[in-house]
A = this chain, B = another copy of it.
Amino acid sequence: IANINSTNMRLRLPLLCIILEVILIILFGTLVEYNDDTHAKLWNENRTDSDTRNDHENEFYYRYPSFQDVHVMIFVGFGFLMTFLQRYGFSSVGFNFLIAAFSLQWATLMQGFFHGLHHGKIHVGVTSMINADFCTGSVLISFGAVLGKTSPVQLLVMAIFEVTLFAVNEFILLSILGVNDAGGSMTIHTFGAYFGLVVTRVLYRPNLDKSKHRNSSVYHSDLFAMIGTIYLWMFWPSFNSAITNYGDPQHRTAMNTYYSLAACTLATFAFSALVNPEGKLDMVHIQNAALAGGVAVGTAGEMMLTAFGSMIVGFLAGTISVLGYKYLTPVLESKLKIQDTCGIHNLHGMPGVLGAVVGAVTAALASPDVYGHGLQRVFADVETGKWNPQSRGGFQAISLAVTLGMALFGGLITGFILKLPIYGAPPDTHCFEDGLYWEVPGEEEGHQELYEVATPNEVEKLSS
């Protein structure tokens, strides 16, 4: 049995992965069923005639392209965005892969449990796949805060708790309060960001500067990260629109997001150059702040925000995000002891809150004059007659408060659980280092071996 302080994953990681997957398989076997659109019997019972038009109306054709775009954002977008660190590319894209693959299964169960069991069963189809990927996104946002300072076992444990609380929060917002949040400014971004920030606060490492030399990028790692950035940027319109109602809401959401992001990008370049004494652009800003426009229209995107409104929101989001990276992140670290590796507070935290506020205001300003018969297709409670724009705006604002509360509370609990010294977390001297958890190849022939640092495990072994 390995030393409890060792970072050796040989027993811990396989045991946890296998136990989790076995539990998942048992629960799926017990609880999960095909929904009407994926079940051979049920889909074909519902056929009114024998022509193929019926098959063309399967939700697959109207949701699956969006699903695939979201899927790319989760696995390529988040995964490569975090490869900016010079020696943490394997872990960034690899652990992202692992915890996403786990989270989407666990989220299917948790969301299915809260969002309506059908005779005790969870019904799955492309919409549940999108929702599971959304919940996964939230976990990956939190991952960004603790990047480089956690073992894969810790990350899986974090995912277990975060997915669960995500589903609770989502249930409160969407089912109890009945608010709008199709693109997840609140449920995904605000929740994931503040949850992760609290976790990293609890896991504060006073001696992290021992790994400071690895906590930065190199030329090619920044280019790999740009792959992540650009994919997130391009597919964000699909993300925000993936589960809106069909027709005009989905179309409008994609377009609003497109304009918000375009305006955000110009703001990002402008302020990145402005805050640098030599007027040089900073890759950290471009990689991250240019995406804030997508976050900030996550709630209001499906509303009649207009291209004009979207561009204003996007411009603001990019601006606060760059300023956050430049001026707020150092303060959070030095004063509040929040070590936020990827700066998720700037990309998901503040823009998420902005998105919630914009959503509340836009909802409060909604009127039948502007939306016509489309009003009930955006705001679910119109049909029930209970609809009132001001109260809707109020519920949107309450939802933000609930989300912040859930995130802070959940992050606190989870942070203390993750602090137990049993997960093989990296020592302060070996953070941001792939070599702890991965077989890392040498450099090209003729180069000196770059990755020959002795890991704590090896030191331990040598000295035993």
- Determine whether the beta carbon of A263 is less than 8 Å from that of B125: no
Q: Collect the chain B residues with CB atoms within 8 Å of residue A267's CB.
A: 17-18, 21
Q: How far is the CB of A312 from chain B (nearest CB, A)?
A: 6
Q: How far is B80's CA from A234's CA once the two chains are assembled, in angstroms?
A: 14
Is B219 in contact with A89, judged by CB distance below 8 angstroms? yes
Interchain CB contact under 8 A, B56 and A280: no
A377 at the B interface (CB under 8 A)? yes
Tell me the bound Cα distance from A171 to B293 in angstroms.
Answer: 32
Binding stretch for chain B, among A24-32, A190-198, A411-419: A24-32
Binds B, one of A5-13, A142-150, A337-345, A390-398: A5-13
Whether a CB of chain B sits under 8 angstroms from the CB of A389 is no
Contact B439 A281 (CB under 8 A): yes
Which residues of chain A in 14-56 are interfacial with respect to chain B, using CB atoms and an 8 Å cutoff? 14, 17-18, 20-21, 24-25, 28-29, 32-34, 37-45, 47, 52-56
Whole-angstrom CA separation of A281 from B440 in the bound complex:
9
Please determine whether B97 and A265 come into contact, CB atoms closer than 8 angstroms: yes
B34–A306 CB distance below 8 A: yes
Interface residues on A, range: 35 or more
Complex: chain B residue closest to A8, CB-CB: B279
Of residues A53, A65, A248, A281, which shows the largest number of chain B Cβ atoms within 10 Å of its Cβ? A248
A168 within 8 A of B: no
Cross-chain contact of A21 among B13, B18, B258, B263 (Cβ < 8 A): B263
Please indicate the chain B residues that have their CB under 8 angstroms from the CB of A441 in the complex.
86, 216-219, 222, 283
Q: Which residue in chain B gives the minimum CB-CB distance to A255? A: B38
Q: Does A93 contact B (CB under 8 A)?
A: yes
Mark A259-293 against chain B: 1 for CB-CB distance below 8 A, else 0: 10111011101110110111111110010001000
In the complex, whether A428 has a CB less than 8 A from a CB of chain B is no
**Pick from B219, B250, B457: contact of A450, CB under 8 Å:** B219
A40 touches B375 (CB 8 A): yes
Distance of A16 from chain B, by nearest CB (Å)? 8
Residue in B52, B126, B218, B372 whose beta carbon sits within 8 Å of that of A40 in the complex: B372
Number of copies: 3
Task: Give chain B residues whose Cβ lies under 8 Å from the Cβ of A377.
Answer: 40, 44
CB neighbours of A28 from chain B (8 A): 259, 307-308, 311
Contact digits for A83-107, partner B, Cβ 8 Å, 1 yes 0 no: 1001101100110011001101100
Residue of B13, B65, B281, B437 near A65 (CB, 8 A) is B65
Instruction: Judge if A235 is at the interface, Cβ distance under 8 Å.
Output: yes
Q: Give the residues in chain B near A114, CB-CB below 8 Å.
A: none
Q: Taking A255-B125, A255-B126 as contacts, is the C-beta distance between A247 and B445 under 8 angstroms?
A: no
Cross-chain contact A71 with B234 (CB below 8 angstroms) = yes
Knowing A56-B246, A439-B281 are in contact, say whether A234-B76 is a contact too (CB < 8 A): yes
Instruction: Provide the bound-state CA to CA distance between A13 and B69, in Å.
Output: 32
> Can you name 7 A-B pairs with beta carbons within 8 Å?
A14-B270, A14-B274, A18-B267, A38-B252, A41-B371, A60-B254, A218-B443
Q: How far is the CA of A447 from the CA of B129 in the complex (A)?
A: 45
Whether, in the assembled complex, A220 has its beta carbon less than 8 Å from a beta carbon of chain B, the answer is yes
Complex contact B315–A269 (CB within 8 A): no
Q: Which of A175-183, A199-207, A225-233, A346-354 lines the interface with chain B? A: A225-233
Name the B residues within 8 Å of A361 (CB-CB): none
Alpha-carbon distance between A263 and B22 when the two chains are bound, in angstroms: 9
- CB <8 Å contact, A281 and B437: yes
Q: Give the residues in chain B near A38, CB-CB below 8 Å.
A: 248, 251-252, 255
**Chain B positions within 8 Å of A400 at CB level:** none
Q: Which residues of B contact A34 (CB under 8 A)?
A: 252, 255, 304, 306-307
Q: A13-B270, A311-B24 are in contact. Are A246 and B373 (CB under 8 A)?
A: no
* Complexed CA–CA distance, A274 and B252 (Å): 49
B374 touching A234, Cβ below 8 Å: no
Of all A-B residue pairs in the complex, the 3 with the closest CB atoms, nearest first, are A40-B374, A10-B279, A41-B372
Closest CB in chain B relative to A343 CB, distance in Å: 15
CA distance A442 to B75 in the complex (A): 28
Which residues of chain B are within 8 angstroms of A235 by Cβ–Cβ distance? 68
Instruction: Tell me the complex Cα distance, A372–B11, Å.
Output: 46
User: For A124, what are the chain B residues with a Cβ–Cβ distance below 8 Å?
Assistant: 255, 307
Q: Shortest Cβ distance from A98 into chain B, in angstroms? A: 5
Contact indicator B281/A94 (Cβ below 8 Å): yes
